[in-house]
Amino acid sequence: MKIAGIIFLLFVSLSGMAQQAESPKEYVIKAWNEFQLPEKGAIKAILAQRDQIIRYLKANNAAVEAEQENGAQAIRRAADLYDEGKDAQLKSSEIKKLLKGVDLSTKEFVNCTSLEYVIEDYFGLKAVAEGAPVDQAWGSMWFNTTVETIGNKYDYQRYRQILELNNPELSLAYLSCLRSVFRYNGYTKGLDEIRPLFDKNMPEGALKDEINGLYKSYEHLKQGNVAPAFTLKDFRGKEYSLSDYKGKVLVIDVWATWCGGCIAKLPKYMEMAGKYKDRDDIVFITISIDDKGAYNSWKYALPRLKLMGMTNLLASKGECTFQKDYNITGIPRYFLIDKEGKIVSVYAPTPGKDFEALIDMTLQK
């Protein structure tokens, strides 16, 4: 009985040790969580930590997944050096050495912790190494974007390079973010440029079908296309059509009385309009998407919001097709239409310097 008892206790003890034993990936994550970044020589310390863990993994015949996790963790720590637009001034050679720690073409890479952040940090650092400004290298259309934002060329560069890798698991894991790109940016030049590659390399399935559906539903709103026609009324019942503005650049603020963000930005829109008040080749108007039942709320909001100095139109759902024609899924939205009635942007920037630069460029044509 004693021998049997000892054997039983030994078995329980060994079982407990087996349950407590770390997997190689868990070891990597723990080692990086315990890593203390020094104030000086940060990148050297990160690379040394990564290489030390590599030696441990090789000595223990660890799977590729743990090696990819190690490289990913190192990349995240290096990217932290650039938080809030700081320029860590890392050498291009140091960044390239760091990026070699992962292989985005492998299935194992896709299993890295916080994959979407790793991808964005990888391509952000890569762009910095290639000379991109630090405040632009990470783009602004991130995987977890839930607010209105305008992307830049580095966002589209990231999408393109992911597609070029032709790693189905990676594309499926990350490129669902294209939904938000369409929502907040519409059919952009960048989306148009990656479309052939998307058709070629994106794995067949539900996600590809959904994104292709977005391409089709937003295609009519891309730059250079004729803007969808509309005829709407102001609070006096007078009709205005898009065609009435031919020969002039048309700027539109799409808003509603129930939209706090829209109302907060109206003063900036009015200020921007004021800068062009002496020109006869540009017109600023507003179009509200308030429901028909809120007509009076809209009508009496106009003087209160000091909008009586410009044309204000109402585009209630069910009364016209304006919201459907322009894929209005969120507001405020800003339009810029050229003198020929063609779209410059129906996802223009918030009123400010960037929007004004776009207006000035359009007026010069």
pLDDT of residue 87: 72
* DSSP H stretches of helix in the chain: 2-20, 24-33, 42-59, 64-80, 92-99, 115-129, 134-137, 153-165, 168-174, 178-185, 189-201, 206-218, 260-274, 295-304, 322-325, 353-364
- Look over the chain and give the mean of its residue pLDDT values, rounded to a whole number: 91
DSSP letters, 92-122, are: HHHHHHHHTT--TTSTGGGGSTTHHHHHHHH
In terms of phi and psi (left: phi > 0; alpha: psi -120 to 50; beta: otherwise), the region of 37 is beta
User: Could you report the per-residue pLDDT of 46-57, keeping only the tens digit for each?
Assistant: 999 999 999 999
The two structure tokens encoding residue 176: 């669902």
Nearest by Cα to 53 from 21, 22, 81, 27: 27
Alpha carbon distance 134, 84 (integer Å):
10
**Band of pLDDT at residue 73, cut at 50, 70 and 90:** very high
Burial of 82 (0-12, 13-18, 19+ CB in 10 A): buried
Cα gap 326→66, rounded to integer Å:
47
Query: What mean pLDDT comes out for the span 333-354?
Result: 96
Closest CA to 195 of 176, 216, 180: 216
Nearest to 333 by CA among 346, 321, 342: 346
Q: Is the pLDDT of residue 355 over 90?
A: yes
pLDDT digits (tens, 9 = 90+) for 139-187: 987 766 555 566 789 999 999 999 999 999 999 999 999 998 998 889 9
| Model pLDDT, residue 365 | 86
pLDDT above 50 for 7: no
| Number of residues that make up the chain | 365
CA gap 266, 2 in Å, rounded: 85
The residues with which 285 forms a beta bridge, in sequence order, are 252, 311
The pLDDT score that the predictor gives to residue 3 is 52
Q: What confidence score (pLDDT) does residue 39 get? A: 84
* Per-residue pLDDT tens over the stretch 263-307: 999 999 999 999 999 999 999 999 999 999 999 999 999 999 999
282-288 and 249-255 strand pairing: parallel
Q: What angle do CA 288, 291, 296 make, to 5 degrees?
A: 80
CATH superfamily of 231-364: Glutaredoxin (3.40.30.10)
145-154, 221-230, 243-252: range with lowest mean pLDDT: 145-154
pLDDT at position 217 over 90: yes
Could you identify the residue written with the tokens 């996790």?
69
What is the SS3 assignment for 279?
Answer: coil
CA atoms lying within 13 Å on the CB side of residue 285: 23
Give percent of the chain with pLDDT exceeding 70: 92
